[in-house]
Amino acid sequence: MRVYDKAVRAADKIADDQLRAHILWTVASERASAGDAAGASRTEALAHAATEQIKSPLSQVWMYGDIASNHLAAGDQEAARGAFRNALFVAESAHSPWARARAP
């Protein structure tokens, strides 16, 4: 699964936190679809860490919403539910009422 390792290394070079996290989530999903459970798990850990670097909880929620929509469009309801649960977790932990109200 070298191609996925190359994708992860390339994602590490992306300066934009949200884009880097989104790419890592995508790579993790592709690894899981390809049957690389161990690689998917490692990449998910990196994706979680990259997501935590996104300063705005609202931006995190929007990113997870986009990921959930993409999974749903691809017919992967389980992955869509996982991304949606992540969005809910971030939205519920947002301290600002404004941020909670703006979350999709």
User: What predicted TM-score, i.e. pTM, was given to this entire model?
Assistant: 0.86
21 is written with which tokens?
Answer: 């996290």
Torsion of CA 52, 57, 58, 59, to 10 degrees: -20
DSSP label at 13? T
- Residue that has been written with the tokens 């390792």 in this structure: 5
> Using CA atoms, how far apart are residues 5 and 51, in angstroms rounded to an integer?
19
- Torsion-angle region of residue 73: left (phi > 0), alpha (psi -120 to 50) or beta? alpha
H helices of 13-76, where? 17-33, 37-52, 57-73
- Confidence at residue 102, expressed as pLDDT on a 0 to 100 scale: 58
| pLDDT, tens digit (0-9, with 9 covering 90-100), for 53-80 | 999 888 999 999 999 999 999 999 999 9
For the cut 80, the answer to whether the pLDDT of residue 104 exceeds it is: no
50: closest CA among 27, 71, 78? 27
Q: First-to-last CA distance in the chain?
A: 35
